[in-house]
């Protein structure tokens, strides 16, 4: 097969895959309004529970350490999200749900990506997105990165493993 025919066939294949991906993808849902925080990465708006996509915040009862002292990093993460949501109207965009039925969303307020702000401030870690923001927070020792902490995913796993078994 001549090179030009091969490249043309490869181009048609690539375009076909893009079109198929767009057809099989659920349309984005846009939700606007005032929201309130449930924890450091979950919120409710218009009676709909949602989870911020691409990040993971400490659990509400999670404790971290900075300057040799323990502090409630889970509560601090919740407060950080609450403050971001209190700036005014929020717009969230999402098309997938998690295993708990929550819409996975990227939310903006006053033109700013709330998830990026949380990770940049060290109030959450990257979980599929926001790697640059996490690197910046880590480099500058912000939030969680100012001391020692257990990644939220590892914390949840440890809590499940050490929970008393019910008969």
Domain carrying residue 62: 28-155
Structure tokens at 166: 């019910």
What CATH number is attached to the domain comprising 110?
Answer: 2.40.50.90
Q: Which own/partner contact pairs does 83-86 have at CB distance under 8 Å and 24+ positions apart? A: 84/109, 84/114, 84/117, 84/118, 85/34, 85/35, 85/36, 85/37, 85/43, 85/109, 85/114
Question: Mean pLDDT across the chain, nearest whole number?
Answer: 88
Judged against a pLDDT cut of 70, whether residue 26 lies above it is answered with: no
Up-side HSE of residue 60: CA atoms within 13 Å toward CB?
4
Strand-strand pairing, 112-113 and 42-45: unpaired
Number of domains in the chain: 1
* The Cα angle at residue 125 between residues 119 and 128, in degrees rounded to 5: 100
Choose the weakest-confidence range: 21-30, 103-112, 135-144, 145-154: 21-30
13 occurs within a structural domain? no
Report whether pLDDT(84) > 50.
yes
Question: Does residue 163 sit within a domain?
Answer: no
The residues pairing with 162 across neighbouring beta strands, listed in sequence order, are: none
Q: Is 69 a domain residue?
A: yes
Is the pLDDT score of 127 beyond 50?
yes
40-69 pLDDT tens trace: 999 999 999 999 999 999 999 999 999 999
Residue 102 lies in a domain: yes
The predicted-structure confidence for 157-167, as pLDDT tens digits, reads as follows 999 898 887 76
């Amino acid at each position: 097969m001549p090179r030009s025919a091969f490249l043309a066939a490869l181009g048609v294949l690539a375009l076909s895959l893009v079109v198929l991906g767009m057809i099989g993808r659920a349309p984005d849902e846009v939700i606007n309004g005032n929201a309130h925080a449930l924890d450091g990465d979950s919120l409710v708006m218009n009676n709909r529970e949602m989870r911020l996509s691409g990040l993971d915040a400490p659990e509400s009862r999670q404790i971290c350490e900075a300057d040799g002292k323990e502090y409630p990093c889970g509560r601090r993460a919740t407060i950080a999200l609450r403050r971001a949501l209190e700036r005014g109207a929020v717009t969230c965009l999402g098309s997938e749900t998690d295993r708990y039925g929550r819409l996975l969303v990227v939310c903006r307020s006053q033109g700013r990506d709330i998830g990026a702000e949380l990770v940049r401030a060290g109030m959450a870690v990257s979980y599929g997105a926001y790697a640059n923001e996490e690197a910046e927070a880590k480099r500058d020792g912000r939030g969680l990165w100012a001391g020692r902490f257990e990644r939220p995913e590892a914390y949840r796993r440890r809590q499940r493993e050490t929970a008393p078994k019910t008969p």
